[in-house]
């Protein structure tokens, strides 16, 4: 993935609508009337002073922080504008929400936020998504706590970049006693407006029977296994 540049001073140039001499567009390309909507994963980050929040990429763009509106640049060569066909640079997004949700199941992506973006600028369109030059994060669709519940807040993820701490989604129970930003607190510290569309909390599941010891369950499972082995042995004997 290319390197996203953001509005943050010191992190790259501010996005601009046109390049010097006009936008650098691929020759003979499509010219849709409306920008694309896409879905992607991003890491939430909090500035060292706690005043600002932003996003970071997951793979090649993991070292760069970007804001709500950002323009990509190539990490390998400043001589071309992303997305270059034979380079992997540019922002990435997927056409389908379900594909982005599936990507969120990958171990290293479990602490990422699912976001909805508007993709614009130069782009290359693929079967499942886009590679493109300009991005506006429009909706934050939340993240998942390590326990599997929807994240209601964002706590320190234990890693980070210079000046930025990675945040990880936490639910109310797992976040108890930890310093955490609410999702709305995270959104309020971004450098532009975004909409929060968070999944509803799952229905309360009944607590396991306190009288049912895990050892008792295990013993029952072992007894069942023995019974099956005995049955198998008797069949072999016949």
In whole angstroms, how close is the CB of 107 to another protein at the nearest point?
A: 15
In whole angstroms, how close is the CB of 13 to another protein at the nearest point?
A: 17
CA distance 44 to 180: 12
Half-sphere exposure of residue 177: CA atoms within 13 angstroms, side-chain side:
2
Q: Which range binds another protein by CB under 8 A, 126-134, 151-159, 183-191, 204-212?
A: 126-134
Chain positions 136 to 155 lying near another protein, rule: CB under 8 A, are 136
Beta bridge partners of 153: 170, 182
Q: Using an 8 Å Cβ cutoff, are 104 and 145 in contact?
A: no
Q: Are strands 129-140 and 195-196 parallel, antiparallel or unpaired?
A: parallel
Chain positions 93 to 112 lying near another protein, rule: CB under 8 A, are 94, 103
CA distance 56 to 39: 15
Chain positions 59 to 78 lying near another protein, rule: CB under 8 A, are 59, 69
Q: Which range binds another protein by CB under 8 A, 117-125, 156-164, 182-190, 212-220?
A: 117-125
**Residue 79 binds another protein, judged by CB under 8 A:** no
CA distance 32 to 161: 37
End-to-end Cα spacing for the chain: 64
Q: Which range binds another protein by CB under 8 A, 3-11, 20-28, 47-55, 198-206?
A: 20-28
Residues making contact with another protein (CB under 8 A): 1, 17, 23, 25-26, 29-36, 59, 69, 85, 92, 94, 103, 118-131, 134, 136
């Amino acid at each position: 993935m290319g390197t996203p540049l953001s509005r943050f001073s010191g992190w790259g140039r501010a996005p601009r609508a046109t390049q010097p001499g006009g936008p650098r567009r691929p020759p003979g390309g499509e010219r849709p009337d409306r920008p694309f909507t896409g879905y992607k994963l991003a890491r939430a980050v909090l500035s060292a002073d706690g005043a600002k929040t932003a996003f970071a990429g997951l793979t090649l763009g993991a070292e760069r922080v970007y804001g709500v509106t950002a323009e990509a640049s190539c990490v390998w060569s400043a001589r071309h504008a992303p997305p270059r066909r034979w380079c992997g640079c540019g922002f990435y997004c997927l056409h389908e929400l379900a594909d982005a949700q599936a990507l969120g199941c990958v171990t290293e992506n479990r602490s990422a936020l699912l976001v909805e973006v508007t993709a614009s600028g130069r782009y290359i369109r693929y079967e499942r998504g886009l590679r493109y030059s300009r991005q506006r994060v429009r909706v934050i669709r939340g993240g998942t706590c390590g326990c599997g519940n929807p994240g209601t807040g964002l706590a320190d993820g234990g890693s980070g970049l210079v000046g930025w701490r990675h945040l990880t989604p936490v639910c109310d129970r797992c976040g108890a006693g930890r310093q955490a930003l609410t999702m709305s607190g995270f959104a309020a510290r971004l450098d532009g407006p975004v909409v929060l569309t968070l999944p509803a909390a799952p229905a309360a599941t009944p607590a396991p029977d306190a009288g049912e010891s895990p050892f008792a369950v295990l013993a029952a499972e072992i007894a069942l296994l023995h019974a099956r082995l005995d049955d198998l042995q008797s069949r072999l004997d016949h």
